Structure 1
Amino acid sequence: MPPALSVSQTLNRASKAIKTGAVEVAEDLYMKVLERYPANRRAQQGLLALCQGSAMDMAKSAREMQARGKLYAAEKRWTFAVCRAPETAGLGIGLALCRLEMGQPAAALDAIDRVLEVCPGDARALDTRGRALRDLGRIDEAEACHRAALRGGAEDTGPLNHLGILAQARGDKAAAADLYRRAIALRPDVPDLHHNLSHVVTYAEGDAHIDQMLRLLARVTPNDPAQSPLHFALFKAFDDLDQRDKAFHHLVEGNRMKRAAIGYEVRHDALRFAHVKSLFAEPVAEVSFNTPLPARPIFVVGLPRSGTTLIEQVLACTPGTQACGELSVVARAAAKLLRTLQDEKRNRLDRDDILSLRAQIADGLARHSDGAPVMIDKMPLNFRWLGFIAAALPEARIVHVARDPQAVAWSLFRHAFAGRGNGFAYGIGEITAYMLLHRDLIAFWQARLGNRLFQLDYDQMVRAPESELRRLVDACALDWRDDCLSPHRSGSAVLTASSAQVRQPIYDGSNAGWRRYERQLAPMRKALQQAGLI
């Protein structure tokens, strides 16, 4: 494997790119240096020479791009702004928040630590640092940062909310509810706070919080997408009260608003999946690797809400494993490679592509590793990149979790996900179309990867846990422990939407949850039947 470019070599390449007019290439190279060495003056000066306008103008442009979901371009603008005015805390915080939205907590931590060097004790910077640490799995450090950010005023809303998220991740619903209520008392107009509270309480008739949410909804602009969390919260409330028509009305409204705000189009994913398949239509070059990974990775993939969190928790009960949650490391590296191939008009991976991909993934995993010999990444949507994983990481084990399509579709539709990554989840047509794309791509990988791709049937697993989980553990080359049958007792923090479910014993019956809304879900069932999914 060729040695990685030094900082000096990277900067020289950027200079040559500018001379040939490849400005975006130069920008990327400068940003690569600044991601690891934020104080590098040559990279800072190089970026400054490329960008025009004041730091505030760049920050305004970055916010607009971020609001439209153009995160890669927004990160560039934030980086330019920070280079122009590194002493302005708000710019560094903006860069860190953008990187968090991109799923880059390690890079966000670099940016926010730079802010705290200049402005030690800045409450918003401390709170943002806590978010980055949380996403890196460093829960205790994250809590310390959020508590340090408390000041005793209205600005405590963020830290209190984030402390509530940590308490919820640990399974302490009472503490989480108290923290969310304290945040709501400070800022009752923030829909996300109400949504968070709804998931840690069980509502009863006459609950004052329901009236509070209904009054808030009546005061806001109709059809404002920002209010969609209130509708999802009211779905949860009326579902608890078994008022199913009211509950489903709010669920439909919440999904409609989310769908309008995100503007998801399934054709974009269809084109991307087709491109990925074309790259692996023929076997890729076999490469020998001399550089070890920081740990042996296990990737647990599938559709969101298919049971990947539970499987991660089972595997984490075995010795020598680290549960990393949902990492963006592979997606970021693979998407970058796809852009490179498109820019260079190439339709095959070569040896250098695979070596570079491995190096990027290894670097990303190293920034999340706690030293355990095995790392478990349960990002469901990594199913898109299995060919890349197989080519660059021969040490990796891959587990695909399949679950009853009706249960998955219902679970997708009833959840409001953070960010834009699951934009297909807010409409029956989009869910059905995406499930078809998923089924087709998994069949493609299965034909090419064979036994490198372990298929786990979730429904069979909950009916016969021990036999299926023993097969799983063996396939992942791990050592069985009886604790694998009781992952709910592990006490580990879980930051995904499945945090409540994985604290229950493994049980058969969760797939029947959609039947409570069987009448309302008739169109979804019909769509799944017509697509041949059920």
Structure 2
Amino acid sequence: MPSADSADSLLTRAKSAARAGDVVGAVTLYRAVRERFPSNKRAGQGLQVLKPKLPELLTAAQAAQGGGRWAEAERLLVAAFTLAPDVSQIGTALAACRLEMGRAPAALRAVVAVLDRDPGNSVALNLKGRALREMGQGAAAEDSLRAALGHPETEARTLNNLGILARARGDRMAAADHFRRALALMPTDAGLHRNLAYAITYTEEEPHLAEMRARLAAIGPDAAEAAPLHFALFKAFDDLGRHQQGFAHLQAGNRLEKARLGYDFQTDALPYALSRALFRSVPEPAAVKTAAHPRPIFVTGLPRSGTTLVERVLSQAEGVQPCGELTVVQLAVGEMLREIMGREARQITAADIANLRARLLEELAEYSDGSPVMIDKMPLDFRWIGYLCAALPEARIVHVARDPMAVAWSIYRLSFVGQGNAFAYDIGDIARFMVLHRDLMAHWRTLYPDRIFDLDYARLVEAPEPVTRDLAEAVGLDWSGDWLTPERAEAQALTASAEQVRRPIYQGSNAAWRAYETELAPLQAALNQAGLI
């Protein structure tokens, strides 16, 4: 147990931070004392002295959120919630911030603290449902969301979240019903229109098409908020086989979304260059005393390359938990890289790898249901394969490759949630990103030739049994005939592949882009010029 001297030291530092105007630092130190010594009066008094700073913290947090500086906003909101744990709005703002960061377990902790004081808070119940959904706990998520029904101020949000959950478990009819009910309450919400579009198959009699066109006319086709409507209209016209009309909307949606995100390819490319510089050779590995439990399998590749299908194949093995797309690796490696870049000697050390291992194991365990093996299928974790190989020698890495035109088209036609795929809204950016992916994967294979299992999507759908047998051997799992029927897997699928992966393994998806072959001539030329096809 920490000594009294350690508490005195923390209290002294907290007072110094407060005098220097570092409110967040002071609150953090006082909180650390209270966590170790809950009855410490000096820490409690120190927090009371700082409570008048609450409006200042909340104003700064709001500004950070508005600028997309989520880590900064989180620090400010943690401090604010420490000063005012009885203010539910602060706790729910903290939970929402953590969900934006992809930190579902931390969001759940914040929202549970709110519900402990205010059990019927509909905002908190919605956020709890979202957090549980992201953690793969679909039944518990639905219970929380249904508990929020009947609150007018959050009803549309609740119905939308229930629709997303229904689609994730493959119930398109229920999903469409939830989205339609939400739209009846908020008919101007473009995101709801998009969600409904992906839950139904359009016919000429479907009234939603006319509703979307009327809404687009009302706000104007070039309005920033029109992007989701354009993607939804593309989906509708694609269903109807009206390709030219649909593609015009797809181009407009991509153009607006790129402008909204302010994507800059050079900024996106910096981590790739840094990783190659840090991993000129294999770094000294961390000392491993005990094997990871659960043992992780990382399924990586470009978005839309087939990672969801591979996850569902693997999930048919006994003792395997599919976790979907986790942000654990991205957040942990990103923080480590920022720390390294702040040093005079920008080198990766054995201590860095050891700290990364500890953090990854701790945070992955927060998603575990106790199964001995867990799957993280975040595609863009291909960026961090070297770090994973160094920090987690017991982990297995699967990299999925698919026909470049099929992947590029599938990326371009979708509106992604969040900003992690900001390259997806411009043909030239997609081609450049695919070159980055190709070159970085070549680098990782040079350093770790025996750690990466490359799985070809086309071979998987053409000859599933031999390919899945090879996959089973590569990841250290026992193969069975169940691996050939991934459509029977019960786990939710929160990705755009939610519908496709509930069909038996099928061929033909690689050729879907040919319906737009004329319109995609610039994309084909860009990939050809990049040497990808």
* Alpha-carbon distance in structure 2 between the residues aligned to 1:472 and 1:292: 21
Larger mean CA deviation between 284-293 and 5-14 belongs to 5-14
2:480 maps to 1:481: yes
Q: 1:505 aligns to what?
A: 504
Q: Is the 8 A contact 1:48 1:80 kept in 2?
A: no
Provide the residue aligned with 1:239 in structure 2.
238
1:166–1:284 Cα change, 3 Å:
same
Amino acid at match of 2:226: Q
- Structure 1 match to 2:207: 208
1:187-198, aligned counterparts within 5 Å?
A: 187-198=186-197
Decide whether the 8 Å contact of 1:133 with 1:139 is kept in 2.
yes
Taking the aligned partners of 1:6 and 1:455, their CA distance within structure 2 comes to 52
Note the C-alpha offset of 1:17. 9.7
C-alpha distance in structure 2 between counterparts of 1:462 and 1:10, whole Å: 61
- SS for the counterpart of 2:453 is strand
Opposite residue 166 of structure 2, the aligned amino acid is A
Q: Write the letter of the residue equivalent to 1:80.
A: A
SS of aligned partner of 1:450: coil
1:469 aligns with 2:468: yes
Give the 3-state SS of the residue equivalent to 2:418 in structure 1: coil
List aligned pairs for 1:225-236, cutoff 5 A: 225-236=224-235
Unaligned runs of 5+ in 2: none
Instruction: Please report how far the alpha carbon of residue 264 of structure 1 lies from its aligned counterpart in structure 2 after TM superposition.
Output: 1.2
Q: Does 1:385 align with 2:398?
A: no
- Report 1:154-303 matches (<5 A): 155-220=154-219, 222-303=221-302
Q: Match for residue 453 of structure 1?
A: 452
Letter in 2 for 1:197: L
SS of corresponding position for 1:347: coil
Per-residue Cα deviation, 1:89-132 (whole angstroms, up to 9, x for no partner): 11111110110010000000011111112222101111111101
The change in CA–CA distance for 1:44 and 1:76 in structure 2 (over 3 A counts) is farther
Distance 1:387 1:29, change over 3 A: farther
Matched, 1:436 2:435: yes
What does residue 530 of structure 1 align with? 529
Deviates further, 143-152 or 70-79: 70-79
* Corresponding residue for residue 103 of structure 2: 104
Alignment CA distance shift 1:202-1:266 (3 Å): same
Residues matched between the structures, number: 530
Distance 1:129 1:302 in 2: 30
In the other structure, the counterpart of 2:368 is 369
Cα distance in 2 for partners of 1:221, 1:525 equals: 31
After superposition, what is the alpha-carbon deviation per residue over 1:130-152, rounded to whole angstroms, capped at 9, x for unaligned? Answer: 10111111110000000000115
Partner of 1:114: 113
- The superposition leaves residues 263-308 of structure 1 with CA deviations (integer Å, 9 ceiling, x where unpaired) of 1111112211111111111221133212442311000001111100
Change (3 A) 1:8 1:48: farther
Distance 1:31 1:306 in 2: 48
> Does the Cα contact within 8 Å between 2:176 and 2:200 map onto a contact in 1?
yes
State how 1:321-332 maps to structure 2 within 5 Å: 321-332=320-331
Letter in 2 for 1:429: G
Query: In terms of mean alpha carbon deviation, does 193-202 or 146-155 score higher?
Result: 146-155
- The answer to whether the 8 Å contact 2:14/2:30 transfers is no
Q: Is the 8 A contact 1:30 1:46 kept in 2?
A: no
CA contact (8 A) 2:28 2:79 kept: no
How large is the RMSD of aligned CA atoms in angstroms?
3.0
Partner Cα distance (1:360, 1:385) in 2: 15
**Distance (whole Å) between structure 1 residues aligned to residue 398 and residue 162 of structure 2:** 32
| Aligned counterpart, 1:320 | 319
Distance (whole Å) between structure 2 residues aligned to residue 428 and residue 72 of structure 1: 31
| SS of alignment partner, residue 493 of structure 1 | coil
Residue type matched to 1:475 in 2? A
Do the aligned partners of residues 209 and 163 (structure 1) sit closer, same or farther apart at CA in structure 2, a change above 3 Å counting? same
**TM-score with structure 2 setting the length:** 0.92
Partner in structure 1 of residue 72 of structure 2:
73
Task: Quote the residue 1:494 is aligned against.
Answer: 493
* CA-CA distance at 1:54 after TM superposition: 4.7
Deviation at 1:391, TM superposition (A): 0.9
The residue type paired with residue 527 of structure 2 is L
Quote the residue 2:147 is aligned against. Answer: 148
For residue 486 of structure 1, report the CA deviation from its aligned partner: 0.9
1:53-92 equivalent positions in 2, closer than 5 A? 54-92=53-91
Letter in 1 for 2:473: D
Residue type of the alignment partner of 2:243: R
Q: CA deviation at 1:153?
A: 3.0
Q: Distance in 2 between matches of 1:105 and 1:45?
A: 32
Native 8 Å contact 2:176 2:199 kept in 1: yes
Cα 1:45/1:239, change in 2 over 3 Å: farther
Matched-pair contact (CA < 8 Å) for 2:96–2:127: yes
- Which amino acid is 1:263 matched to? G
Q: Is the 8 A contact 1:15 1:26 kept in 2?
A: no
Distance 1:333 1:465 in 2: 35
Which residue in 2 is equivalent to 1:412? 411
- 8 Å CA contact retained: 1:278, 1:347: no
Aligned residue type for 1:484: W
- SS of residue paired to 2:449: helix
Q: In the alignment, is the contact (CA less than 8 A) between 1:17 and 1:26 conserved in 2?
A: yes
CA distance in 2, matches of 1:406, 1:7: 64
Shift of residue 23 of structure 1? 6.5
**Separation in 2 of the partners of 1:101 and 1:333?**
16
Question: What amino acid does structure 2 have at the position aligned with 1:267?
Answer: Q
Letter in 2 for 1:248: F
Q: Deviations over 1:394-427 (max 9, x none)?
A: 1000000011110111011111111111100010
Given that residues 258 and 426 in structure 1 are in contact (C-alpha distance below 8 angstroms), is that contact kept between their aligned partners in structure 2? yes
In structure 2, distance between residues paired with 1:472 and 1:257: 40
How many Å separate the matches in 1 of 2:352 and 2:246?
A: 50
| C-alpha contact (below 8 Å) 1:31/1:79 kept by paired residues | no
- Structure 1 range deviating more: 479-488 or 200-209: 200-209
Q: Output the CA distance in 1 between the equivalents of 2:178 and 2:212.
A: 17
Are the structure 2 counterparts of residues 8 and 344 from structure 1 closer, same or farther at C-alpha, using a change threshold of 3 Å? farther
* Match of residue 355 from structure 1: 354
CA contact (8 A) 1:470 1:480 kept: yes
Shift of 1:85: 2.6
TM superposition shift of 1:8: 9.4
1:204–1:241 contact (8 Å) kept in structure 2? yes
Change (3 A) 1:349 1:163: same
